[in-house]
Structure 1
């Protein structure tokens, strides 16, 4: 194990895996001896169907942080998640099937210096290098930033993620990845570093790169149409990075130390000092990677309150790890619904931290360290910050959310979900807390409508992007045919029948309550829900149970019945095994 020294920064290794059981052990064994006690190996598995996850878990090394995608999202989004989870000052990217040279870490850190990115060459293993693999980096090109940018766009300057290390400050520019990006994340990172004029190329090899028929990089030139498509997308990425760098022009890329109870954004005209923010999160059988995210949030943003909503399958260790990460953990005696859990957390946060704003989060959501800065910049840009009751991300997983025109030209998110939304703390005194009788689903929609009824604006923050799991994906089947486009198999976002009951009941109840004051909003919301129901019934599983759930949801909404689903109905809606 490499010793930890004051001169050496904390390291993270970001690895994406997918059906990598054949070589994963060799790769991990080559990495761990080069990490110190406080370093980490972050592995995000992209819904492997083999025993990759079990092999990783067998190492039983506390430095390994393992997260899993519920559905296959592709290697670019998986690497993006791994980079977002990494907590080190320097992050080394790693493929699942290579092997590191001994001493690789120290060699790359020595070459890196204070630059944002260092890339080495590599030695092939298991096959002959193809057309692209024979292109090598030269140290003298480290200073030719403009030439390198042109080379990346044209395609003759290649950078390999498996041989790359980046500083966290580069990720502050590069994350989140553009929504259309589905390949060449390593070229994108190299593009960002060259545009920031901070890159180092090593001519030495530092990794054995395994060549086999499952490599994602083509070994021979591609068709012209694919080449042109890739170049156009790189030009789009160039524009995104240019905009982000322009926003930071004149500022240091490193983030200053933060007061643990303050965001890093000045208060603007409505406050004389910095804004106080508290984060509240409802947890139910939380994932293993939640403490790592909470540790970052406490360091970046302020106090975090986690409310355990009666988790039946979460061991005591996860709660201890959350407390070690800096969170205050509260426990409900049983599952009392997300609204109750969030209300408990919000009340506690307001009494103990006295925040100006409360940021509510789901356990399967993530955000970058600039999330609050972008949110409050959007707030100050309105010129009327006191009218704004909520600030929500304008994009989710890189996809633009539906918006609506607000007062005085302000753009509002149509229906912000509670995760990732900042709520003005004193607004709760004005309009009340979340409706607990909704239990789960549409709790946020009802709260949004109530806030608008009281004259509050739900601001869309254009530079805020929330990473959020959209639920379980099930195969899309049309009359027995497994739907696909080319090699990509299509899925349906699936909700269990009991959830469809809540979704139907609470949406109809909300619509009947607010349709006269907000008819356009209600019409758009109901149209969106109708589309979702059509897809579920047409292509999803358990159609009979979904129909029963929907019918009971409609009936109970019209009868104004709320609260938890009746036990008898919940048993009836349980799918057969």
Structure 2
């Protein structure tokens, strides 16, 4: 009789900002049975009585509350949670948002897929659940089509990137690939990291049989011909546009992704302006997103809604655009 494999040492990390603590306690309780440590990266204050409540929900799992002192965004949070997992000698790290709803036993299910991929000779950096909307309908995923000669198990589908929420990362792979982009603050952080992982010889996977609900922004904007856009508030439109344009500078981002982004921008602008009734906030967010993305001016989205024309220079914008579109001449950290 074959002995059962040893239980994986898994850590869970949850990023919070002004959460509903009832829902957060339920989330902690749902992953506690399969976690040796649960990290809470608190981008907003956690009172002592709230921490005691979360500790009770964690049960036998250790609870660690990380307090950066101000909102540092998702990239910095993921990096701090990775350091926590490494310090606890965890093999895997599960990333979650405060409103994530992982199913019972999701961690061991994703671990099993990781093990199967490793046995098949794959260098899997991350395995994510199949995201579904709030009605249970599977969302579209960025399929990679699978590598030629791949012998991946049927329980895994190779993809171009996974949504960070619900993803189970190998801690050692994260160390080899490098930190998440803290300067992106929010939006496209998972996309850039997955593309960097692929460029360094790792692969990205989804477990189609492991489902997790995921809410994208304020919902989905459905367009003719099956086109879908995520409905985001203006500040998120700013970071999305800014960070995606910044990625034009990175050699490890596929040219097909860059071309698709550039060609889709006019459609995105038209749809988002109409969706927001041409509000001043939306106009400012889109213009600032383009200007700051081309300038590679990153960090917190403090400038998202300021008037974009006070310091606008057409000559500088054209020069920034030319440099950004010179694909592959700048390394992955954005340095010439």
Query: What TM-score range do you get, normalising by the shorter chain?
Result: 0.7 to 0.9
Deviation of 1:283 after TM superposition, in Å, equals 0.7
1:339 matched residue in structure 2: 75
1:289 matched residue in structure 2: 23
2:320 matched residue in structure 1: none
Deviation of 1:315 after TM superposition, in Å, equals 5.0
1:318 matched residue in structure 2: 50
Q: CA 1:333–1:395 in 2, change beyond 3 Å: closer, same or farther? A: closer
2:104 matched residue in structure 1: 369
**Aligned counterparts of 1:439 and 1:475: Cα–Cα separation in 2:** 24
Q: What do residues 84-124 of structure 1 show as CA deviations (whole Å, max 9, x unaligned)?
A: xxxxxxxxxxxxxxxxxxxxxxxxxxxxxxxxxxxxxxxxx
Where does structure 1 lack aligned partners over 5 or more consecutive residues? 1-264, 268-272, 477-491
Which of 218, 235, 248 matches 1:498?
235
1:519 matched residue in structure 2: 255
TM-score by length of 1: 0.45
**Aligned counterparts of 2:128 and 2:249: Cα–Cα separation in 1:** 25
Q: CA 1:472–1:433 in 2, change beyond 3 Å: closer, same or farther? A: same
**Aligned counterparts of 1:266 and 1:277: Cα–Cα separation in 2:** 17
Q: Secondary structure at the match of 1:458?
A: strand
Q: Does the 8 A contact of 1:392 with 1:420 survive in 2?
A: yes
1:452 matched residue in structure 2: 198
**Residues 1:275 and 2:8 are matched in the alignment:** yes
Which of 260, 271, 290 matches 1:535?
271
- How many residues in Structure 1 have an aligned counterpart in Structure 2? 286
Q: Secondary structure at the match of 2:250?
A: helix
1:31 matched residue in structure 2: none
Q: Does the 8 A contact of 2:15 with 2:40 survive in 1?
A: yes
Q: Does the 8 A contact of 2:131 with 2:214 survive in 1?
A: no
Deviation of 1:434 after TM superposition, in Å, equals 0.9
**Aligned counterparts of 1:292 and 1:372: Cα–Cα separation in 2:** 16
Q: Which is bigger in relative contact order (C-alpha 8 A, separation at least 6)?
A: 2
Q: CA 1:435–1:474 in 2, change beyond 3 Å: closer, same or farther? A: closer
Deviation of 1:447 after TM superposition, in Å, equals 0.8
Q: Does the 8 A contact of 1:394 with 1:413 survive in 2?
A: no
Deviation of 1:297 after TM superposition, in Å, equals 0.8
1:360 matched residue in structure 2: 95
Q: Does the 8 A contact of 2:164 with 2:190 survive in 1?
A: yes
Alignment RMSD, CA only? 3.1
TM-score by length of 2: 0.74
Deviation of 1:333 after TM superposition, in Å, equals 0.6
Larger Rg: 1
Which of 124, 134, 146 matches 1:388?
124
**Aligned counterparts of 1:308 and 1:429: Cα–Cα separation in 2:** 23
Q: CA 1:525–1:290 in 2, change beyond 3 Å: closer, same or farther? A: farther
